[in-house]
Amino acid sequence: MDRVRYPMRLPRFVLLILLLTPLVACTIAPQRYSTPQAQTFTLQKGDLEADGLAFLTPSTVTGQEEDKQALALIFASTVAQQHPTVRLVPLSATISAINQAGLTDVYKGMYREYRDTGVFDPEALRQIGQATRARFLGQLKMAAFGQRNSGRFGIFGLDIVKTQTATIRLYFQIWDTHTGAIAWEGAEELAAAYDTLAEKTVSFKSVVEEATRELIALLP
C-alpha cells in the first residue's frame, strides 16, 4: 500500500515572512517633502556662465562643523552636473587663490563679519572676486541636518521593516563682487523617508545632493 504523503507544514515564522513579503515590497518607495524657494534681485540668465561663480567656505549649524568641506564638495559637484555651462570655482580653488593673493586675513575678517552680521564687506568681496576671477561668490549655509532610524514593522519582537529618515535645511546666497549686493538667494528644506530591510541610514551625500538639485533648479 502506498503511503499517503501530506503536505509539509511550514513554521509560522516562515509563513508570516512569505505572506508579508508583498507588503514589505510595497513600502520601499521613498517619501519626500520639499519646500524650495528663491528670490532673484539682479542675477540674470547667463550671468554665471559669463562671469563665473566662486564658492566661499560654507557655514553650518553647531555640531556639523566637520562637514563643511564635504558639504562644499557635494554642493559644487551637484551644481556642476546640473549647470555644466556655468564657470565654477570650487572651494579648494577659491581658498588657494585667496592664499596666493595674500588675502588670508581679509578673508578671515570678511567671514567673521558675515557670521556676526550677515553682511560681507564690499571691498573684501571685490578683492576676492579679482583673486578668483569670478564676479559672483556663493555662500552656502546648512542650517539644520538630522538622521533617524526607527522600527516600523516587527515580528516576535524583531524589527523587520525600518523607517530611515533624514532632514536638511540649506540657504544659499550669490553675491555680486562688482556691486557688493546680493544678486540671488534661495532656501530649501527637505525631508526624506523610506522603509527598508537594511540598517543603513540615509547618507549625508544623497540628502545634500537632492536638496541642492531642488534649490538650484530655481536659478535663472
pLDDT higher than threshold 70 for residue 213:
yes
Total of domains in the chain: 1
65-84 exposure pattern, b = at least 16 Cβ within 10 A, e = fewer: eebbeebbbbbbbbbeeebe
Give the range of the structural domain holding residue 208, as residue numbers without chain letter: 31-216
Q: How far apart are CA 188 and CA 186, in angstroms?
A: 7
Grade residue 214 by pLDDT with cuts at 50, 70 and 90. very high
Alpha-helical segments (H) within 27-137: 47-51, 68-82, 91-100, 104-117, 122-132
Close Cβ partners of 144 (under 8 Å, ≥ 6 residues apart): 61, 167, 168, 169
| Beta pairing, strands 136-155 & 59-60 | parallel
Query: Residue 47 domain-assigned?
Result: yes
60 occurs within a structural domain: yes
Which residues, at least 6 apart from 132, have a Cβ–Cβ distance to it below 8 Å? 52, 54, 89, 93, 94, 97, 98
> What CATH number has the domain bearing residue 196?
3.40.50
Residue 18 lies in a domain: no
C-alpha Rg value of the chain to the nearest Å: 25
Question: Which element (helix H / strand E) includes 16?
Answer: helix 12-26
How is residue 107 written as a grid cell?
A: 578673508
Q: CA 151 to CA 162: how far, in whole Å?
A: 4
- Answer whether residue 115 is part of any domain: yes
Mean pLDDT of all residues in 196-207:
70
Query: Is residue 160 a part of any domain in this protein?
Result: yes
Please indicate, yes or no, if residue 12 is contained in any of the structural domains.
no
Whole-number Å distance between alpha carbons of 113 and 101:
20
Percent of the chain with pLDDT strictly greater than 70: 73
Q: How many helices (H) and strands (E) does the chain have?
A: 7, 8
Residue 14 resides in a domain? no
pLDDT band at 28 (very low <50, low <70, confident <90, very high): low
| pLDDT level of residue 146 (50, 70, 90 thresholds) | confident
Average pLDDT of the segment spanning 111-115? 88
Q: What is the pLDDT of residue 186?
A: 97
pTM: 0.79
User: Does 124 reside within a domain?
Assistant: yes
Distance of CA 198 to the CA centre of its chain: 22
Select the more confidently predicted residue: 192 or 114: 114
